[in-house]
A and B are shown apart, each in its own frame.
Chain A
Amino acid sequence: MKRILPIILLIASAFISCTANAVNPSDIDTSTWEGLFKVYWNVMNEDYVHFSRNDISWDDMYDEYLPKFQALSYDNANDSLKAFKYFKEMAKDITDYHYSLSVVDKSGVKLSFNPALERKWSTSTNAGSINYFPDIKYNDTTYQNVNGTFFSSADREKEFNYIDGYYEIKNLGSNFHNSSSITFEYEISGDITKYDPSHDNDKEKAAWILFMAALDDYVADDLQFYFGITNTNVAYFYFSQFPNLEILDINTEKVKRSYKDIEYLGVKPYEFLSTAAKTHVDNFSKDLNTALDLLESIANTDKAKVSDTSTLDVKGVVIDVRSNGGGAVEFVHLLTGIFFKDGSSKVVGQNRYKAGYDRYSYTPWLDVAIEGLGEREDGDYPNHVAIITNGSSVSCSELTTLTVKEFLNSKQFGSTTWGGTCSLTNREIYQSGPYELKNANGDTILSIYSTTYQFRANDGTSYEGVGIAPTDYVAESSTEDKRFEEAIKWAAE
């Protein structure tokens, strides 16, 4: 007995010494490059949801880059260049196609890096021709100061053109006259809670920022939609992204709510908007409501009301999500649910989330179901529904594409989508999602924009990084919108 117990304990202690402790990000000194590296590495290690999809050796990354970051000084501008280079190297194989990484050095110089975009550039003949993110030059001697980098609308247009996305809407029918857009006039930066429309000198700006923030920014950044009926009796709907449904003014027996009553940080921002801004928002909301009513009417009755006294028989529907950057998932459920019979449920795929801080700890795959809202007695909408996509159709627009293709009498025109089929939301609730680290001044010094879940289609396929290929590829034309024309033509058949 005396001889056996020490042996057992000796064996046990040998095994105990094999376990190790991870670093808690909140305990890290973030005023050094080593500290920022450790936060980045640990946040990714714990919360990044896509490790199971590719074979990045995140452990090896730690061994390789820790000594490199330890050798850097946070006060040295040349060391910032090296730090940015290391961060880019670490992130280059990330396969989350929403992913971007931003790091700010002590002097305010910022690196913004989007590995998916970089990958698409590198495989193109025009690589390097577009300065999407004004970036650091890595020649160790010179670099651009890029404070406040984010792409301008001109850059964005070039990007879309480059990735097969620029389009013009032409040859619209005489009845095609409705259009609406909303533009977010101010960029949100820093601490949003500092904006108070009741005291701020720039009340208009503060009200706008809080109003848009209350809508989760989903109507921000030049959201536009067009809709109408072509002269071939096809209903056409274009969305540059999908707005949060909070922008609607609903007053029915079951639901009574309005964007006018949205509260944010204890105020109702709408009340502080200027008369012109209120009119802008009111018109947008009204137009969106009109578009949804039109779609609902067509899906249920094949008829569109074009005046108080007349209706049109509509042959089919075109949904245009070219260069649609995504937006609110709830809008996708509404937009596609309108076509499906009330009471039916369409499982379009499955999501799974992180379920613990271990790198490979996930929830089960959970069905993603679109609930039917339609009122046709004979089932789902039976007529043609064409969807137009391009290389910049991302995120929720890809979920829309999959849903329409799988469950409706549909064809996809255009080109393969971006391949960012997952989405994102509050990481406090779901563990994974966008992460920000602020310094003592409240300025963001590390930002990881990443998705909340993995998505797979019903056949088990992940389209992340792959995109959804069209049923009918249509090449772009510099003189006419062939994709639009092909889609309209088929929808009218």
Chain B
Amino acid sequence: MSHRGLLKGVRVVDFSWLMAGPSGTLLLALAGADVIRIESTRSPDNYRKSFSKDGNPDCSPLFATVNMAKRSVLIDLKHPAGLSVAEGLVEKADLVVENFTPGTLDKLGLGYTRISERNPRIVMVSASAAGQSGPKSHFAGYAPHFASLAGLAFLTGHPDGPPTRFSRSLDARVGTYIALAALAGLLSVRQTGQGMYLDVSDQEVVASLIGDVLADAAATGREFVRNGNVEDGRAGAGCYPCKGMDQWIAIEQDNATEWQALCRAIGRPDLLADPSLASQEGRWAHRQQIEAAIGEWSRRLEKPDAVRLLQEAGVKATVVASGFDLFTDDDLHARGMWQPIEHKALGKMWVVDSPVTRSPRNGGGEGVAPAPLLGEHTDEVLREVLSLSEEKIKALRVEGALR
């Protein structure tokens, strides 16, 4: 079986929207789960609305790059008949995912207590800014806010600059943990026969990903600060400019051998001969001189040439990659990380595959199905999962339950 089929047979009813929840169900969909997104024309996903071409909810590239391989069903959850359709789907599902403000699904009658009565084996994963319980559970918040509550915003940036405003990438990190929590829940059901509710806190997700710094802070009592790309005590490592606008490389260098290699690579034997720079401490004391020497060298070179020269000399170096660099990277294409898809409204486009279940190297695996149009699979899912007749579906549509 291919990696893509590992979750075949797992049905996910996905009430999530925007970025965090959909990123999680994307990982599940790309591992073979049947992810059914519950959407509504009354309140469409803002990623369909705000980022679409001409306001057409089917023409949002942003939505299309995070909802591949899912199905979309239109249901008005505030319509009683719509609510029973949703309940019917949940009854036939293994997993429910949502990332509304805490309490929203409860108010709709789709909270865990209610749905577990109808489907005791259901796993439900919620994600919210600070979790469903506790003094800050009512905090509304997006990525910049939970990054702030977890310490990452404070820890990222230049020493003389402001804390960093994080955005979608942190939602995607929440998504990875949502997918992981979902599997923990599904494994638990196998073990106990009982469903499970898992309450993911976005704040905790970010704190978990800087848990190393938090543990150091707890053990030492030291206050950690943002320091650009500099690691204490290490000179000659960080980001350096190359030829052209906004072109950069990253260098790592932390021992005598690498220091010698660096001096050779940048053509500065004089630095190597300087006794004041012989030790790590000496280099740290004179770091401005070293930074200037590397920058002077790197500015004259194209980014890939600088990296090649450094690597060949034995220095660890990498380009600071832009969207252009990553899209034109042969290795990423060969690894199958870039997948071409044919989207029904947007046409041919490129998406980034799952880093876990991507196709095998140099293709040969299954491609990625495109993101659904709004409500594209309503009839199909209602027929297939709930065995509803065409007449019944038509009647539901007429009474306004499927919009």
> Do A and B assemble together?
no
A contacts, CB < 8 Å to B: none
